[in-house]
Amino acid sequence: MSQWRDDANQRLRALRRALHQPGPERDALLLLVKAAVATVLAWQFAVRVLDSPVPFYAPMAALLVVDSTMVRSLSASAQRIAAVVLGLSVAWVVATVFGVTWWTMFGVILVALVIGRWSRLGEHGIQVPAMVLLSLITVGGTDEQFTYLTIVETVAGGVIGVATNAIVLAPLHLTKPRQRVSALARQVRELLDEMASGLRGDWDVQSARRWYRRGTEIGDKAPYVVDDIRTGRESMRFNLRDNIRPADVDWDGYERTVTTLRRTVWEVTGIGRTLVDAADERRRRPGPSGTFLTEYADALDGMAQAVSQLGRHDDDATRRFDEGTGRAREVLTSLSEQVRTTPLEDPDQWPVYGSLISDSLRAVAELESAREAAVVPGDTGPLRPPPPTAGLWSRLRRHGQPRH
């Protein structure tokens, strides 16, 4: 009962967010509403225009093709129509040439199942054997009126579904990827800040394990952020809203930012793993000295500052980014020289020092390599309109002007 209440409360909170602010919850709610509208419109079209005795295929096609982007909606419509046409065609050919018997049924279903596994049909491939079975069992496979009406209904339903998706607030997924790119950068910076602060204080094996675990979790989120970015990019294709007022979004820059942050956090996770091994008494490995860690924390602070400015290209952000990476490199170079020239109390400390310095230098190198290409949104507010030379506006401005 408690689980049911928690689930109900979570859904109510999602509904409130959908009604009061833009975001994934509102996108999901809008998609459900559009699917319902498209289904009803297709059903009425089949009843009133096509005079269908069983108006099923049009609303079903409309329901299944309303998707999160116009590209996916068009693809789903084409796949479903192709699957229905293939299924009915196979049934009609077999029934006309061989008739409907147990052995023709076996053969035609087997062929339909093979065709249905064609990757180009996607999840709609199952419609091929379904339409074969329906056609053979209900009308013997040779009823031309049934075949014709089913194909027309499916095409009409697909067109209505795509049109509804395009006209009624065509899906444009821009807010979520921007929010998640910013959140990923913030989480990496916060982890570096926490590690730097901890190494200056009383850290222990539990702290190191927490840093290692957080780094792993952040790295695991990166592929999902990339998926959101690609969905956002895809949502701008064939989209009437974007053609009328194009958004100025650097999707390549966002993706480069996420890739860089993921590679950086891999190195940070390696630092956490080294600290876990050094702090765990059961492993009997010597830990780095307190003096080393205090200076090393300064390098982590520099990396955190660089991450906070990654993807921002104004003069102040560029200066702060360079300051952060420069400070990190300076500290790490100094520590490397100290370790090389200072005799160690325990020779087994070499691998620990070497691992910490190497991982940090690789992280700094990753950040520096993305200095120009990475882009992070400065906020998650409304997207700024494009310059007058972008998108449809440039085409309208060029229209009627003499060619040079």
Which pLDDT belongs to residue 398? 36
DSSP 118: -
- 177 phi-psi bin (left φ>0, alpha ψ -120 to 50, beta other): alpha
Alpha carbon 41 to its chain's center: 31
Across 220-232, b (16+ Cβ under 10 Å) vs e yields ebbeebbebbbbb
Instruction: Return d(Cα 320, Cα 310) in angstroms, integer.
Output: 10
> What's the residue count for the chain?
404
As a whole number, the mean pLDDT across the chain is: 84
Mean pLDDT of 15-33: 75
Q: Range(s) for CATH 1.20.58.220 in the chain?
A: 175-239+249-369
Residue % of the chain over a pLDDT of 90: 46
Instruction: Return d(Cα 266, Cα 259) in angstroms, integer.
Output: 11
Instruction: Return d(Cα 275, Cα 203) in angstroms, integer.
Output: 10
Instruction: Return d(Cα 25, Cα 179) in angstroms, integer.
Output: 14
Ranges 27-31, 108-112, 320-324: which has the least confidence: 27-31
Q: Can you tell me whether residue 276 is helix, strand or coil?
A: helix
Mean pLDDT of 199-217: 93
Mean pLDDT of 337-348: 75
First to last CA, the chain: 73
Residue 229: both structure tokens together: 């970015």
Give the dihedral sign, CA 117/118/119/120. negative
Instruction: Return d(Cα 198, Cα 192) in angstroms, integer.
Output: 10
Residue 239: both structure tokens together: 């989209």
Instruction: Return d(Cα 208, Cα 136) in angstroms, integer.
Output: 66
| 247 has pLDDT over 80 | no
Which pLDDT belongs to residue 195? 96
Model confidence, pTM: 0.76
| 382 has pLDDT over 50 | no
Q: pLDDT tens digits for 73-115?
A: 888 889 989 999 999 888 888 888 888 888 888 988 999 999 9
Q: Which CATH number does 175-239+249-369 carry?
A: 1.20.58.220
What element of type H or E holds 90? helix 70-98
Q: Which of the pair, 387 or 14, is modelled with greater confidence?
A: 14
Tell me the pLDDT band of 363, cut-offs 50, 70 and 90: very high
